Structure 1
Amino acid sequence: MKLQVINSPFNEEQVKLLNELLPKLTTEQKIWLNGYLSAPLATLEANEEQPTPAAQPITQTMTILYGSQTGNSQGLAEKYAAALKAQHVEVTISSLGKFKATNLKKITNLLLIVSTHGEGDPPDQAIQFYEFLHSKRAPKLEHLQYSVLALGDSSYEFFCKTGKDFDEQFAKLGATRMVPRTDCDVDYDDAAAQWFSAVQQKFLQQATAVGSTSTSNEDTQLLEESTYSRKNPFYAEVLENLNLNGRGSNKETRHLELSIEGAHFHFEPGDSIGILPENDEQLVHTLLAALQFNPETEVTVFEETVALRDALQKKLEITVLSRPLLEKIGAYTEHQQFLKLFEEPNAWKGYAKGRDLLDVVKDFAPFTWSAQQFVEMLRKIPARLYSIASSQKANNEEVHLTIGKVSYETAGRKRLGVCSGSVAERVQIGDTLPIYVHKNPNFRLPENEDTPIIMIGAGTGVAPYRAFLEEREELGIEGKAWLIFGDQHFVTDFLYQTDWQRWLASGTLSQMHVAFSRDTDQKVYVQHKLQENAASFYEWLEQGAVIYVCGDKQSMAADVDATIHHIIEQQGQKTPEEAKIIVNELKQQKRYQRDVY
């Protein structure tokens, strides 16, 4: 196509220049140029009070599915959906729990954002979709193009396994990758943003209508955090730091009250606060001495040059040994005992449990690394998430947390949790902690105030229930609410005892059962109290109750889950297979919500 000077707003010289340029432009460049030129034109027309132009045509359709246990995947899905909609893409967004797997036949473009839970498991709400896709009932998907963003934690052996499984299975079913899968560690912001940028570039190139592949200023704002976040934390002053356990307890549980005045945080019961911790200064000092490195040596970490001491204390994880990390370390030693860690399938696990980098340096020296090579093996210190133990409606300028101190001994050395140890032993009233709000839409009070709630938790797992009941008290709700709480000893470990008693007296909490495992010869846990009250539990289920479970995943939550299955079998006269179906339905309906770790 050649531009003619007749009826053209350009003079002959401009027409000549345009005719020389246009044939040399790619389709992508033409699309970009069109968007670039149309933006100021639209502004000009608006200023001249011209009639509102018709909306730009939809360029493509996109389905975004997410599988989320703690809300990360859902948050990213919603953010990316908003960005695509702003670029005139027709977007459908859904959790894997609500999406009918058979509808895969009806869509052509798919983004899947999914986390991995525990030791390689799909999130609760993604289980049925996962099982369907890996079954013989899964459809052929030659018509589908897709991309997977996998969230995970590299300290686990099966890092991002759920995302990897989905990616491989979609390919096996004939689907085409739009862009390659990205596997994100706990500090996922940058990697996720790069993945979505690649998706945008690839997807919008295929647009049939004229549009811009670059993001306008308005769209860019949609992708940026508008408030404090993990990358831009709020420094909250410590107002209170109390030990909730009585004298003689085997535990130390801190009740932390933080000022959030000026943060403009907005959170709901069930959400968490992320704390960005630092490593213990003495541990860093001892590690540097063992490494025989100068603490002032400059190293580059995450595109920033800092002193080695500061990098190890404030930026890098030094207390967790994962297989990927040990494999990287193996490149810098020929120590035969170290190499034996990988000869047996689980040998490395036996060594890594309870140990840290200081153990490796002391046990297997010498190493051939430089300070820069050493820090390049390490990942960022992950934020620590703690369930909010207060209602913002009741405490607008404060947030309360319940933090159990992690303390143990391995190989003759006392170890402390990075964050919990700091809170218990070093954080004083008046200090500040870098924090941000972490939304968890999968652990929420029911919208209908009359819906009964059953709250099950042990130890610090009781924290969100304090927020639940404080919220209900503030709203004047006196519906059916049942708490089942467990810990070691009644006298020393009955966390927030006066709060529960007050709410029982006022009607905010209608009933409570407690299990203190060390007060009797026979250990009694929350699942035993659940079984003792099986008939009432099933009756509440029949009335539409929502079940909440919070706490340790490996023991408490697993035992509670088995007990719930058993009660449904027993009280409902169901087979194990029927009980499993019912429990899955409860999860899909968000009537069985878990915040387990």
Structure 2
Amino acid sequence: MAIAAMTASPNALAPSPLAEERRVLLARLVDGLDAPTLWWLSGYTAGLAQGQHGPQLAVLPGGVASASQRLTVVYGSQTGNARRAAEQVAQEAEAAGLQVRLLRADAYATRELANERLLYVVISTQGEGDPPDDAIGLVEFISGKRAPKLPELKYAVLGLGDSSYADFCGIARRLDARLAELGGQRLFDAGLADLDIDTVALPWRAQALQHARDALKTTAAPLATVTPLRPAHAAAWTPDKPFAAELLANQTISGREFKGPRHGLHGERGKDVRHIELSLAGSGLLYEPGDALGIRHRNPDVLVNAVLDALRLDGDAVVEHEQRSLSLHEWLASRRELTRLSRPFLAEHAAAARADDLNALLAPGQQAGLAQLLQSHHLVDVLRRWPTSWDAHELVVALRPLAPRLYSIASSRKRVGEEAHLTVDVLAYQAFGQPHLGAASGFLAELHEGGQAPIYVEANERFRVPADGNRDLLMIGPGTGVAPFRGFVQERAETGAAGRNWLFFGAQHFNSDFLYQSEWQDALRKRELHRLSLAFSRDQAEKVYVQHRLRAHAREVYDWLENGAHLYVCGAIAMGKDVHATLLEVIASQRATDAEGAAEYLSRLQAEGRYARDVY
């Protein structure tokens, strides 16, 4: 029989057939498990309830089916896209009657790799060629000396990336090459998907399913009569179908040093950081502290008009593409990226403009120069620097689809109810003699009370407050990286958690950039926050960052970790790397160990779910 998905929380089920001690054991078992693992566990227990008679489960626990009889799908995901892509692979294989298991990379037992016969890896690339946090351990194992020879393995890799980075899908390409180096048989070329994921993922999945059928020698109908729990229907609100959330508040929380017009497009400016409050009333959307809110923004008119002016194109011209008929202005405003470039577009533009210097940056071995270009130039900068003409239809086809932006949620539902709060740094600056504006942050900054933002929730199961309220928390969040920790502190206060909370916050200036200053001071008075370590880099001759505060409190930081504290880092990728390096220094000095020993210590914390990062 098929088991329907349950949407109620375990605490809402009554009466419970479990004795108190068994309820405690169950809570410990499921603590920290992600959705795919919970779905598998539900199917497994349903099979036990039937006495394990009849057909086996479609998703099998490791060891129940031999490695030669099953497909293993492993995913590494930073923002959820790779997880969703891997779930689709597993669901299609399961529906085809194949025995398949789906595992997050940090839940995969590396000792099993030597015995795998059919392995599909779906993995995103974080920043410039780095693995997502949940795949660091697996990638290091496969890349290292302890990786086994794999002469009997058949495998395929699907990479998700962003071609606005020079090392596009870098980690997927390196994993694909390494598995082959270890003796694995590549079933077909790695899929390298850009932000329009389905363009590559759909044909990749079709190939993957056919190869899995061939490898497992079955074309049978589904075998399982008891299946893992799946949601009864797709999430109500998704990136393709967002909820229109009403704006409740749009408040500037950076200080008085901000000068010039609202977006800082002219004149000198400090940071323009907004506290945004959105209503979730009527949406049914739920989130936990640590999750992100996806924003389906429109490109502000100032960005659209700059492109139209540079190309001397008519925004009212109708363009038919992807079975849609829209004005060119609407394509650029709602469907195409204007602030993120891609290598394919640059190649087309370089050819059309006959730009030898741009072509040179696209040549092999020019990764550093290309990365600098991708990071510093918007679309309009390229159009102005290397002028050429574009036909309206050709432009729409060549540009990347507009991708949603993710913002860490800065609130706890237990305190704010049916609302979600965000901390948004409005990107506005001068470059190449022209004003520049961030697409999503500019969109949010322009919203007025009563306006609407299309949103959805992106879960982040790895970035959660511990279920054990007695655990201490070390939270490192410079700048807008402090956002999730506002939610953490609210959550812990509302649930009566007994553990201590220690926040490390950094910014440029105390007077203008101390985000949520009054809230943190109030939290300290109420003992909702127990320690606050601050670093303002530009308020003295020598720059001071959160890394300096970590070193200054090295003994106490280490003592907290040794006593079971959970460690969290949120903010820019570069900051995350610097903080990680500092943590290695702190641990090496306090444990009197070498760099390898310190790295093993942090890796162990990650494996235990006690060291989590949300870097972007």
TM-score bucket (shorter structure) = 0.7 to 0.9
1:110 Cα deviation from its structure 2 partner: 1.2
Secondary structure of the residue that 2:106 maps to in structure 1? coil
TM-score, with length taken from structure 1: 0.84
The count of aligned residue pairs is 542
| Structure 2 residue aligned with 1:524 | 544
| Structure 2 residue aligned with 1:257 | 277
Cα separation, partners in 2 of 1:121 and 1:321, compared to 1, 3 Å: same
2:570 is aligned with 1:561: no
Pick from 161, 181, 187 the counterpart of residue 152 of structure 1.
161
| Structure 1 residue aligned with 2:608 | 589
Structure 1 CA distance, aligned partners of 2:540 and 2:593? 33
Cα separation, partners in 2 of 1:179 and 1:265, compared to 1, 3 Å: farther
* Structure 1 stretch displaced more, 274-283 or 328-337: 328-337
Structure 2 CA distance, aligned partners of 1:220 and 1:188? 26
2:118 is aligned with 1:109: yes
| Structure 2 residue aligned with 1:406 | 427
Secondary structure of the residue that 2:414 maps to in structure 1? coil
| Structure 1 residue aligned with 2:38 | none
Structure 1 CA distance, aligned partners of 2:475 and 2:604? 19
Pick from 83, 86, 104 the counterpart of residue 77 of structure 1.
86
Structure 1 CA distance, aligned partners of 2:271 and 2:224? 52
Structure 2 CA distance, aligned partners of 1:338 and 1:209? 51
Cα separation, partners in 2 of 1:219 and 1:570, compared to 1, 3 Å: closer
| 8 Å CA contact 1:79, 1:223 repeated in 2 | no
| 8 Å CA contact 1:481, 1:508 repeated in 2 | yes
CA RMSD, 1 decimal: 2.9
2:155 is aligned with 1:127: no
Cα separation, partners in 2 of 1:472 and 1:84, compared to 1, 3 Å: farther
Task: Give, as a single letter, the amino acid of the residue that structure 2 aligns with 1:412.
Answer: G
Task: Give every structure 1 segment of 4 or more consecutive aligned residues whose post-TM-superposition deviation is greater than 4 Å.
Answer: 56-60, 82-88, 205-210, 213-216, 218-224, 335-344, 346-353
Pick from 370, 376, 383 the counterpart of residue 404 of structure 2.
383
| 8 Å CA contact 2:239, 2:456 repeated in 1 | yes
Cα separation, partners in 2 of 1:161 and 1:341, compared to 1, 3 Å: closer
| Structure 1 residue aligned with 2:30 | none
| 8 Å CA contact 2:246, 2:450 repeated in 1 | yes
Secondary structure of the residue that 1:394 maps to in structure 2? helix
Cα separation, partners in 2 of 1:265 and 1:417, compared to 1, 3 Å: same
| 8 Å CA contact 1:167, 1:181 repeated in 2 | yes
| 8 Å CA contact 1:272, 1:386 repeated in 2 | yes
Cα separation, partners in 2 of 1:514 and 1:396, compared to 1, 3 Å: same
1:512 Cα deviation from its structure 2 partner: 1.4
Task: Give, as a single letter, the amino acid of the residue that structure 1 aligns with 2:587.
Answer: I
Q: Pick the structure with greater CA Rg.
A: 1
1:291 Cα deviation from its structure 2 partner: 1.5
1:114 Cα deviation from its structure 2 partner: 0.9
| Structure 2 residue aligned with 1:570 | 589
Structure 1 CA distance, aligned partners of 2:557 and 2:292? 28
Task: Give, as a single letter, the amino acid of the residue that structure 1 aligns with 2:391.
Answer: S
Task: Give, as a single letter, the amino acid of the residue that structure 2 aligns with 1:580.
Answer: A
Secondary structure of the residue that 1:375 maps to in structure 2? helix
Structure 2 CA distance, aligned partners of 1:390 and 1:574? 39
Cα separation, partners in 2 of 1:532 and 1:335, compared to 1, 3 Å: closer
1:297 Cα deviation from its structure 2 partner: 2.6
Structure 1 CA distance, aligned partners of 2:401 and 2:80? 21
Secondary structure of the residue that 2:102 maps to in structure 1? strand
Deviations 1:266-297 (A, max 9, x none): 21111100111222213322322331323233
Pick from 540, 550, 557 the counterpart of residue 570 of structure 2.
550
**Unpaired runs of at least 5, structure 1:** 1-51
| 8 Å CA contact 1:479, 1:508 repeated in 2 | no
Pick from 242, 247, 251 the counterpart of residue 242 of structure 1.
251
| 8 Å CA contact 1:453, 1:547 repeated in 2 | yes
Structure 2 CA distance, aligned partners of 1:571 and 1:582? 12
Secondary structure of the residue that 2:163 maps to in structure 1? coil
| 8 Å CA contact 2:96, 2:219 repeated in 1 | no
2:109 is aligned with 1:100: yes
2:392 is aligned with 1:392: no
Structure 2 CA distance, aligned partners of 1:571 and 1:340? 48
